[in-house]
Amino acid sequence: MKNRVVVSIGGCPYTILADESEEYVKKISAYVNGKISEITSGSRIPSLDATVLAALNVGDEYFKALELNDSLRAQLKASIDENAKLKSQIAELRRASARYEKGS
């Protein structure tokens, strides 16, 4: 069931229908509103222009987050692969140690 949430962005009320919780929608709305406020603070930039610039800034943050996510996933995969390799080496060394101890 969709949640109906009323938010204010850029001084205008919007009714949002979302699958997400009311708290989540309000959190996102407050974030977007903050981005618009950063741009309009101390300037007379038109509302539409401020909204477009805020959208570009959010898009920039999004794509940088995607790049960071990809990088972290690659690092995690490399660490997992290295861990598996080291576990295999430990197991082999234990087997060799056991063989050596039996032979001594």
Per-residue pLDDT of the chain (104 residues; tens, 9 = 90+): 899 999 999 999 999 999 999 999 999 999 999 999 999 998 899 999 999 999 999 999 999 999 999 999 999 999 999 999 999 999 999 999 999 998 76
| Three-state DSSP state, 16 | strand
Question: Is 9:36 a contact under the CB 8 Å cutoff?
Answer: yes
What pLDDT does 1 receive? Answer: 82
Q: What contacts 57, CB < 8 A, 6 or more positions away?
A: 35, 39
What pLDDT does 7 receive? Answer: 98
Please report, for the chain, the start and end positions of each structural domain, with discontinuous segments joined by +.
Answer: 3-103
Quick one: which of 41, 9, 45 has its CA closest to 26?
A: 9
The C-alpha angle with vertex 39 and arms to 60 and 64, in degrees rounded to 5, equals 10
Q: What is the pTM of this model?
A: 0.76
Which string of DSSP letters, residue by residue, matches 31-72?
HHHHHHHHHHTTS---HHHHHHHHHHHHHHHHHHHHHHHHHH
